[in-house]
Structure 1
Amino acid sequence: MQKQQQERLKQENLQHHDLIQSDFQDSYRNLTIKTMMMLEWLVAHCVKASYIMKVDSDIFVHVYNLVKLLLNPNTAKQNYMSGLVWWHSPVLRNPSNKFYMPEAVIAEPEYPPYPLGMAYVMSLDLPGKILGVSPQIKPLYIEDVYLGLCLTRLGISPIDPPENTMFVVKTTHPLSDCSISKVIAVTTTSISQITSYWKRSKQAKC
């Protein structure tokens, strides 16, 4: 079965040339491994890019608004990381909670600021810097928090987007045309919803 699946992946990549594969189990607890692998690939293969964006599979991305933000003269070209930044997020100590974190791993009561993993943007100088300090950070399965810890070690703070309408994790669907016209990344409930928002985004306005 595994050999058959690998062969199907190989054939798909021969057709589309859009797969990156590594040797670890793709699970929630391994999201940090996946993220660090992604950063390693970016450093090795994307030296001419200016920014990168990581998004979850259930996210609609309004590409026009994203490019507009990144071309804005006020958007930093280095040490830049933005998204839905969580400030003063408490470290959860209840062992029954999905995001439980023991004091032995993190003693502080709050996490450093970090952009929520649903979608974040960073300038391409950051992957190499993050990889450089990552050996100094205790392994942590919450990948966005882990990146926040790396940024703190680097003395870099994530940046809130210019408008709080740009990155949205919880909302009421369907979105209005006005909301679509302002968003960069928003969590959706289905592939058909993503497709619908993509089609509507071409004409959506307030």
Structure 2
Amino acid sequence: MSSPQNKLSRDAIRDTWLKHTKMNKGNIRYVFLLGESQMTKELEEENFQTMDIILGSFKDTYNNLTYKTMMSFQWATKHCRNAQFVMKTDDDVYVHIPGLKRVINENANALQNAVGGSCQRIASPIRDKRSKWYASFESYPEKTYPGYCSGTGYVTSLNVITKIVEISKTVPFFHLEDVYVALCIKKNGLRLHPISGFMLAYDF
């Protein structure tokens, strides 16, 4: 996933780790997913050159990341029906493609019923209105979130993505996308699968 103003990041990704996809190594395909903004015309022009951008019909804001994520899942189930695995990541993340392929091969069976990545088993909602991750009691009255994988990047099977899309029709909207996906995972009876190869910058 990307933000409209992050063209430099998208170009850097295209010129670095996405080169593996351009050389068709490992049958990997990618798209950048964005919402509407004042830059929509520029994004359409960029896509005319790159043919790798999907624009959703919602405003591209932080509080709409859940819409963006679910759009990506819906798009994958419709346009990637022959895919075995799907990875969601952000435009400020570096993906080591050979390492990703190894991780998928090593965890292929587990990922048929789980989402893998850098997973937190439990976390508490932040009630401070000044926080980027603020959650009101009205939007989330529980004391703890279900376990979740960091939204910076996770991988799973198309089978799981399909189940999440289907169950999302019965899960009320929540603006923190990694928590929302976790709610769908929990309701589906699916699992989290911590994978050591997924590291966040503050893990170092």
Give the TM-score taking structure 1 as reference length. Answer: 0.74
RMSD, aligned α-carbons:
2.2
Deviates more, 1:128-137 or 1:81-90: 128-137
Structure 2 residue aligned with 1:57, among 91, 103, 116?
A: 91
Query: Which structure 2 residues correspond to residues 1-206 of structure 1 after superposition, within 5 A?
Result: 6-72=40-106, 75-161=109-195, 163=196, 165-171=197-203
Change (3 A) 1:40 1:166: closer
Would the aligned equivalents of 1:69 and 1:75 in 2 still touch at CA under 8 Å?
Answer: no
In structure 1, C-alpha distance between the alignment counterparts of 2:136 and 2:78, rounded to whole Å: 35
Would the aligned equivalents of 1:133 and 1:154 in 2 still touch at CA under 8 Å?
Answer: yes
Report the 3-state secondary structure (helix = DSSP H, G, I; strand = E; otherwise coil) of the residue aligned with 1:24. Answer: strand
Would the aligned equivalents of 1:83 and 1:160 in 2 still touch at CA under 8 Å?
Answer: yes
Q: Give the AA of the match of 1:111.
A: Y
Task: Find the structure with the greater CA-based Rg.
Answer: 1
**Between Structure 1 and Structure 2, which shows a larger proportion of strand residues?**
2
Report the 3-state secondary structure (helix = DSSP H, G, I; strand = E; otherwise coil) of the residue aligned with 1:85. Answer: strand
In structure 2, C-alpha distance between the alignment counterparts of 1:16 and 1:61, rounded to whole Å: 20
Deviation string for 1:121-170 (max 9, x for gaps)?
11111222111111222211100000000001101121111x3x532231
Percent identity, please.
32
In structure 1, C-alpha distance between the alignment counterparts of 2:112 and 2:131, rounded to whole Å: 36
Would the aligned equivalents of 1:113 and 1:157 in 2 still touch at CA under 8 Å?
Answer: no
Q: Give the AA of the match of 2:79.
A: H
Report the 3-state secondary structure (helix = DSSP H, G, I; strand = E; otherwise coil) of the residue aligned with 1:94. Answer: coil
Structure 2 residues not aligned, in runs of 5+: 1-35
Deviates more, 1:6-15 or 1:90-99: 6-15
Change (3 A) 1:98 1:42: same
Length, aligned pairs only: 168
1:103 Cα deviation (Å)? 2.3
Give the TM-score taking structure 2 as reference length. Answer: 0.74
Structure 1 residues not aligned, in runs of 5+: 173-206
1:5 Cα deviation (Å)? 5.3
Would the aligned equivalents of 2:127 and 2:135 in 1 still touch at CA under 8 Å?
Answer: yes
